[in-house]
Structure 1
Amino acid sequence: MSTTTAETITGGERWDESSAISDVFNDGQAHLGYWYGPDDGTPMVSAAHRLTRKVADVLGVRAGERLLDVGCGPGGPSIQMAEETGARVTGITISGFEAEAGTRKAAERGLADRVDFEHGDYSELGHHADGSFDAVMAMESLQYSPDLARTLSGLERVLRPGGALTMTDYTLAPGVGQAERDVLAANLGLPLLQPVEAWLDVLREAGLEVEEWTQCGPRVFGMGPKYVEAAEQTRDKLAAAFGEEAVTGLKQAMGDFFSPGADQIAYSIVTARKPRR
């Protein structure tokens, strides 16, 4: 695990606490899952792996290529990408817990030579040279950038010409007005809740060419009951680590978070490419 300057690592305490629970709850996959419908009985961890695999498919990362995982969580997607694609992966997170968890898991899986984790700010990538990475993925992380234009400019810089960036994030469902958006964003703690078209615009403004996007809210955000059910199924494991009160709180928090449903909150996967020039 490497560390950037201390001045750039702020705000990680929030993720230190929440990711410790999600690491046990969802095997290091700090993002949502993908189900084919309400009758799909796929376990939550496998559904989360499925979403990471969809990112791998549209990103097109190949064996030996260098992948940057932006806001990597406790390391699950980085490790999965390395194992399933053969890529060399660098994850970056402002959470010390997440960086340490990812480093430990990579070592346990025999991947320490191909996966590393940085405790740092993904908006501060000056220690990486221009064109350092063949691909970038950002799973539910750009939502929390305090300066999205600056962050994307930095990601564009470290991406090689012809390299691709794939992001997944919560987006505003069509037809939801500004007043509703403000209430939803505040209640759900989503600072950049916006229509997918706004994400396409900011990616283009950063100099990237948008190639493909998919809106899959009903299969991701719309599956709220499955997350609550998974918390109950893992109650004993979670309670042993964090106490019964934490399990009850997790179930309540997830019930509240997913209550708007896919009619109001969509979920988008967007791929853009740095021009070859």
Structure 2
Amino acid sequence: MTSKVKLYSGTYKNYSDEIYKAIRSETFGEDIGQNSWLTADEYRNIFSLLGLTNKTRVLEIASGSGGPAVFMSKETGCHLTGLEYDRNGVDNSLKLAEENGLAESMEFIHGDASEKLPFDDGTFDAVVSIDAINHLKNRDKVLKEFFRVLKKGGRLIYTDPIVVTGILTNEEIAIRSSIGYFIFAPLGENERLLERAGFKDIRSDDATENMSSVSLKWFNAREKRKAELLKFEEEDNCNGLQKFFKMVHTLSFEKRLSRIMFNAVK
């Protein structure tokens, strides 16, 4: 039986430690503090698709460490609100915003994005969520909430890294979902739910290559620093994370689980 392992809380808590910085640098090339399958160039493309400017109000769902949010704000000048479930992530985000002189244009809130969002109707010009929607319960309700808080004509972009596009065994599913709560969506289900929520101009693009490449680099970067990592991580958890990263690479490389980017307008 595959045991659950912790990825997010530890990496957020140890965000500034040199070993985790080195792992991010080797994994992503350009380290913007990400803890997903996102690269800086992919995020820049998303900024362009969203049309972000210094007048744009953005809601980032599952803002994580706050690193990508700070990167977005610095690159585009947008005003950003981050919603994050992990308190270590929120604490680190607030610290980064302060250190980068962005505290007045950014806010970070602790909360569960699978519940009713704590914002008025039509508050945001854009909603973005990277590699996190698979952790949120009740996707139909989640997408309706995204729709509600967007202004008319506002745009939603999110990536779903757990789209089923091939045959999977029960063991593969267990390892791939060992880091937390997961929802595995069949191909076409996101589009159906987006349309039901009221979105239009729905577009989907395959972004699996990033996940395949990043997961392998992440595995390798951690493996060569395993002795150092064990000072921060329990051995069973460290080994479990390595199994997780290896499985992510296998399933994405073989295109049995795909990462799809969805782009839609209210």
* TM > 0.5 fold call: yes
TM-score, normalising length: structure 2: 0.80
| Separation of aligned partners in 2, 1:60 and 1:247 | 40
Greater displacement, 236-245 / 62-71: 236-245
Q: What is residue 105 of structure 2 aligned with on the other side?
A: 114
The 1-side partners of 2:219 and 2:194 are apart by 34
* Structure 1 residue 32 corresponds to structure 2 residue 37: yes
**Shift in CA distance, 250/182, structure 1 to aligned 2, threshold 3 Å:** closer
Q: Who is 1:4 aligned against?
A: none
The answer on 1:68 being equivalent to 2:59 is yes
Deviation at 1:213, TM superposition (A): 1.8
> Is 1:187 aligned to residue 175 of structure 2?
yes
List per-residue Cα deviations over 1:38-64 (Å, max 9, x = no partner): xxxxxxxxxx22232232222222222
| CA–CA separation in structure 2 for the residues paired with 1:225 and 1:113 | 38
Q: Which runs of 5+ in 2 are unaligned?
A: 1-5, 25-31
Aligned residues: CA RMSD: 2.8
* Aligned match of 2:128: 137
Give the 3 Å change call, closer, same or farther, for CA 244–54 of structure 1 in structure 2: farther
Measured in 1, the distance between the counterparts of 2:213 and 2:79 equals: 33
Q: Which residue identity does 2:260 align to in structure 1?
A: S
Partner of 1:154: 145
Name the structure 1 match of 2:258.
Answer: 266
Which letter does structure 1 place at the counterpart of 2:263? T
Q: Structure 2 CA distance, aligned partners of 1:158 and 1:258?
A: 35
Gap runs ≥5 in structure 1: 1-12, 34-47
Do the aligned partners of residues 256 and 213 (structure 1) sit closer, same or farther apart at CA in structure 2, a change above 3 Å counting?
A: closer
Matched letter for residue 244 of structure 2: A
Tell me if structure 2 keeps the 8 A contact 1:75–1:105. yes
Q: CA deviation at 1:268?
A: 0.9
User: 1:244 & 1:187 partners in 2: Cα distance?
Assistant: 17
Q: Deviations over 1:171-223 (max 9, x none)?
A: 4354x25xx37664433117322244211111111111143221021342355
Counterparts of 2:58 and 2:262 in 1: how far apart (Å)? 16
Q: Secondary structure of the equivalent of 2:253?
A: coil
What TM-score, normalized by structure 1, do the two folds share? 0.77
Shift in Å at residue 87 of structure 1? 0.6
Q: Report the AA paired with residue 268 of structure 1.
A: I
Q: 1:79 to 1:57 in 2, by over 3 A?
A: same
Amino acid at match of 1:128: F
State the shift of 1:155 in Å. 1.2
- Alpha-carbon separation, structure 2, partners of 1:262 and 1:206: 32
CA separation of 1:123 and 1:161: change in aligned 2, threshold 3 A: same
Deviation for aligned residue 1:256: 3.2
Deviation at 1:151, TM superposition (A): 1.1
Residue pair 1:76, 1:102 contacting (<8 A) in 2 also: yes
The corresponding residue for 1:41 is: none
1:211-230 equivalence runs, <5 A:
211-230=202-221
Q: Provide, for residues 16-72 of structure 1, a one-character-per-residue CA deviation record: whole Å limited to 9, x for no partner.
A: 245436773436312114xxxxxxxxxxxxxx2223223222222222210000011
Match of 2:29 in 1: none
